[in-house]
Amino acid sequence: MHIFQYHPDILTRYPQIVGGTILAQNVTNGPTPAGLQALYQTEQQRVLQRIGDTPLSQIESLAAWRRAFRGFGVDPTQYRSASEALLRRLTKKGNIPSINLLVDLGNLVSIRYGLPVAVFERHALHGTVTVHFADGLERYSELGTSDEDHPEPGEVVFSDETGLVIARRWCWRQSEASAAVEQTRECLITVEGHHATNRHDVEAALDDLLALLKEYAGGTTTSAILDVHHPALISPFGD
């Protein structure tokens, strides 16, 4: 069974996309331990120093996501990619608050590489998660609310086989049902890029995610680099 995949229509429109994916099982989540919290705070300061006065729109990984958003009709200054939103928070407020171990781990790697990293709770998901153009009938509840909404037709979404959307506008915002919480024991993690050095950066980010998971969350992992030639992460159990 495919755990996560890109629809052929996405690969036709965005042939340059490279994604890193991880299925993490039997992990531990909860409050972020002191060691990871210290790493996270240090990384935030390093990123602030590295960015300096550079406008976020001039960081190539973020600029490439802006182009991708425009490609499916979304204004990227109204809806910012998750990586740009995190870095915007960091540069304006000076810090990113701690959420929990898994979310902080993902956010640490996201700001390090300027790439969106999503951590999805697998409990509510059914079958394969596919990145595709929405038909508008899919179901979505925004983080923090139970109200049901629907994506715009043609918008890029992540959804499972029941039409449950776990990410709107590709990497703008994930859903309430898919948020990693203290009870999360199995999760799907994605990191994606469109820019010229995306393969190098996504591979490095994936390696960092795997190392941090091993050290702080335990469990077992299955991972892959996805692209136009290898569009799916396949279950290690073959089911």
26, burial (CB in 10 Å: exposed 0-12, middle 13-18, buried 19+):
exposed
60, burial (CB in 10 Å: exposed 0-12, middle 13-18, buried 19+):
middle
> How does pLDDT run along the chain (239 residues), one tens digit per residue?
899 999 999 999 999 999 999 999 999 999 999 999 999 999 999 999 999 999 999 999 999 999 999 999 999 999 999 999 999 999 999 999 999 999 999 999 999 999 999 999 999 899 999 999 999 999 998 877 677 899 999 999 999 999 999 999 999 999 988 999 999 999 999 999 999 999 999 999 999 999 999 999 999 999 999 999 999 999 886 55
Output the pLDDT for position 147: 79
Residue reference for tokens 């991708």: 68
* Phi, psi dihedral angles at 195 (to 5 degrees): -80, 175
Residue reference for tokens 């990227």: 76
- Work out whether the CA dihedral 144, 172, 9, 151 comes out positive or negative: positive
The strand pairing partners of 86, in sequence order, are none
Output the pLDDT for position 238: 59
Is residue 221 within 8 Å of residue 29, measured between CB atoms? no
Quote the strand ranges of 106-204, DSSP E. Answer: 117-121, 129-133, 140-141, 148-149, 156-159, 165-168, 173-174, 186-193
Domains and CATH numbers, the chain: 2-234 (3.50.40.10)
